[in-house]
């Protein structure tokens, strides 16, 4: 039987046996292009994988734990994470490689174009709770990358170097993106620096138009080949590269000597389409000079401006066939990715007018208020309109909320450089995202209270520090990130008037 026929037969047998009979990397192996890196915080990417998926680190004491699937080939044990992280914060500090090649991702070191906010210039870790989903009907969490967050492995095994062929796919959030550089997943420099054209081959997702673009306003799947995000053959617009509008997407970039391709589709329905398949751009991209490091959420030189959400992704040895990728897409569809609510705890209802009262001992006689642009806690009563906020549907994400000033209609609480400010809504995407917050169960566990997570920076919460309002992380570079007093300072009693 010809190889293609065998593959189809085996695939259909596996697919009918059980939904967990074969996963993405099983199909790549069947196609003769095995995974040499397989990363996911949501699920096993092999039917028989039962090892570690990712590591979380707890804010309260720095302890770590590894999250595994709940059964062989299954979904990540989100309940174990929730227990471990109860009444504190958690970040994702390692994403394990399921392929057996040992290509784990850890927090990215500083690079030629990006010095991260953590000690030594390392990037930020992602929040462990920024992107809750259901996969195969079970709760799991994706990797929510804010600007400044990134993962890397500079010492890999089995990843393509030079002009060697490879393929990649990733499942991403089609609604979380920006025009910064560069939300990538894939092959990059081992030196953390830009070493020239053709030294990268990675999936890019976003609406950056500095180099290329696709049809419509974006976001688009493009390829980061270094010194350029490519939607097609050259640094130009490729109208065959569509704007992505689905909540979940499957993104593919693959390359072999003299040739590369972009494919993509809705990760919830339908198949994959090819937006580019053709020759390499020139000059410097043919032959390629791939170096074999792996990046997630950043550019090759650690450019830190991108944002996006990663659920799963792999890199292969060899150039996968379209047929193999179609089977991978069918497996992704079977996973049934569904977004879960971003809010929890006592409801904070759209349309209500509220006050925020600190819960820190010694500060409960205050309310979060504003004086002009400054947002701070003040000794005022709930009759003072400077302390009254109308809850609106989130300007940047309708699953969370925004807070409009009662005495200055049209002005909202937003963060800027992580400081809370009152500003007029200018209608921009940045303003909307900076003024979108997700009330959740209180970090301190105090009954009847909420913590208020920043949608775009889910490691950060409304905090008063020396009575000034910030979005603070639990331990971080700024004084207002201080771990001392964190749990109480980020816990508020929200009262409807």
Select 118 or 326, whichever has its Cβ closest to ligand AHR: 118
Query: Least distance from C-beta 314 to ligand AHR, angstroms?
Result: 20
| Residue 416 makes contact with ligand AHR by CB under 6 A | yes
- Report DSSP state, residue 340: P
**Of the two residues 76 and 181, which places its CB atom closer to ligand AHR in the complex?**
181
Structural tokens at position 129: 């709770």
Residue 479 per-residue DSSP state = G
Q: Which of 184, 189, 241, 301 is catalytic?
A: 301
Binding to ligand AHR by CB under 6 A, coded x per residue (else -) over 201-240, reads -----------------------x-xxxx-----------
Among 289, 464, 472, 494, binds ligand AHR (CB under 6 A): 464
Q: Identify the active-site residue in 166, 189, 224, 226.
A: 226
Smaller CB distance to ligand AHR: residue 319 or 465?
465
CA angle centred on 58, ends 78 and 205, rounded to 5° = 65
CB of 6 to ligand AHR, least distance (A): 39
Q: Does 194 engage in binding with ligand AHR (CB under 6 A)?
A: yes
* Closest CB to ligand AHR among residues 64, 113: 113
3-state secondary structure of 136: coil
26 part of the interface to ligand AHR, by CB under 6 A: no
Tokens 């799963």 belong to 312
Min CB(124)–ligand AHR separation in Å: 12
Instruction: Name the CA dihedral angle for 278, 281, 282, 288, rounded to a multiple of 10 degrees.
Output: -90
Whole-angstrom Cα distance, residue 271 to residue 325? 10
Task: State yes or no: is 301 an active-site residue.
Answer: yes
433 is catalytic: no
* Contact (Cβ atoms closer than 8 angstroms) between residue 452 and residue 358: no
Task: Give me the 102-141 binding string for ligand AHR, x by CB under 6 A, dash otherwise.
Answer: -----------x----------------------------
Give the closest residue to 324 by CA, choosing from 100, 159, 169, 186. Answer: 169
Q: DSSP letter string over 98-129?
A: TTSS---EEEPPPBTTB--SSGGGPPBPEESS
* 340/346 Cα distance (integer angstroms): 17
Half-sphere exposure of 103 (CA within 13 A, CB side): 27
Q: Residue 61 interacts with ligand AHR (CB under 6 A)?
A: no
Q: Give the one residue of 6, 86, 371, 467 binding ligand AHR; rule: CB under 6 A.
A: 467
What DSSP letter does each residue of 46-86 carry, written as one string?
A: STT--S--EEEEETTT--EEEE-BSSTT-BB-HHHHHHHTT
Check residue 241 for interaction with ligand AHR (CB under 6 A). Answer: no
Instruction: Please state the closest distance from residue 168 (CB atom) to ligand AHR, in A.
Output: 15
The residues assigned a catalytic role are: 226, 301
**Residue ranges that bind ligand AHR, judged by CB under 6 A:** 113, 181-182, 194, 224, 226-229, 299-301, 303, 360, 363, 415-418, 430, 434, 456, 464-467, 485, 489
């Amino acid at each position: 039987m010809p190889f293609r026929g065998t593959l189809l037969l085996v695939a259909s047998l596996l697919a009918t046996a059980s939904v967990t009979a074969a996963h993405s990397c099983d199909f790549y192996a069947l196609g003769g292009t095995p995974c040499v890196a397989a990363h996911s915080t949501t699920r096993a990417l092999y039917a028989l994988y039962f090892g570690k998926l990712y590591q979380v680190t707890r804010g309260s004491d720095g302890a770590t734990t590894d999250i595994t699937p709940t059964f062989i080939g299954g979904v990540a044990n989100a309940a174990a994470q929730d227990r471990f992280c109860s009444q504190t914060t958690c970040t994702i500090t390692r994403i394990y490689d399921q392929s057996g090649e040992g290509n784990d991702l850890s927090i990215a070191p500083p690079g030629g174009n990006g010095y991260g906010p953590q000690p030594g210039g390392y990037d930020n870790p992602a929040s462990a709770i920024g992107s809750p989903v259901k996969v195969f009907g079970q709760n799991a969490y994706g990797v929510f990358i804010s600007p400044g967050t990134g993962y890397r492995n500079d010492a890999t095994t089995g990843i393509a170097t030079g002009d060697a062929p490879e393929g990649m796919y990733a499942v991403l959030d089609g609604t979380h993106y920006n025009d910064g550089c560069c939300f990538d997943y894939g092959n990059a420099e081992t030196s953390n620096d830009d070493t020239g054209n053709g030294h990268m081959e990675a999936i890019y997702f976003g609406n950056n138009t500095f180099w290329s673009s696709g049809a419509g306003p974006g976001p688009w799947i493009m390829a980061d080949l270094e010194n350029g995000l490519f939607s097609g053959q050259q640094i130009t617009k490729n109208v065959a590269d569509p704007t992505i509008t689905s909540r979940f997407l499957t993104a593919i970039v693959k390359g072999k000597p003299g040739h590369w391709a972009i494919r993509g589709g809705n990760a919830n329905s339908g198949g994959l389409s090819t937006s580019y398949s053709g020759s390499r751009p020139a000059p410097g991209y043919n032959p390629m000079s791939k170096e074999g490091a792996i990046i997630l959420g950043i550019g090759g030189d650690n450019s830190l401006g991108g944002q996006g959400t990663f659920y799963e992704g792999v890199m292969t040895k060899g150039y996968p066939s379209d047929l193999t990728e179609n089977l991978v897409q069918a497996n992704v569809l079977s996973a049934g990715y569904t977004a879960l609510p971003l809010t929890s705890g006592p409801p904070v209802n759209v349309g209500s007018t509220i006050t925020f009262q600190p819960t820190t001992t010694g500060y409960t006689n205050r309310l979060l208020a504003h004086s002009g642009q400054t947002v701070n806690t003040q000794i005022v009563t709930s009759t003072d309109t400077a302390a009254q906020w109308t809850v609106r549907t989130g300007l940047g994400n309708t699953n969370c909320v925004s807070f409009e000033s009662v005495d200055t209609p049209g002005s909202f609480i937003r963060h800027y450089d992580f400081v809370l400010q009152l500003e007029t809504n200018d209608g921009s995407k940045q303003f909307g995202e900076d003024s979108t917050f997700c009330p959740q169960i209180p970090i301190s566990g105090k009954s009847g209270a909420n913590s208020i997570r920043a949608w775009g920076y889910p490691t950060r919460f409304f905090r008063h520090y020396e009575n000034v309002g910030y979005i603070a992380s639990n331990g971080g570079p700024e004084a207002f990130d201080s771990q001392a007093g964190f749990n109480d300072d980020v816990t508020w009693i929200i009262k409807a008037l």
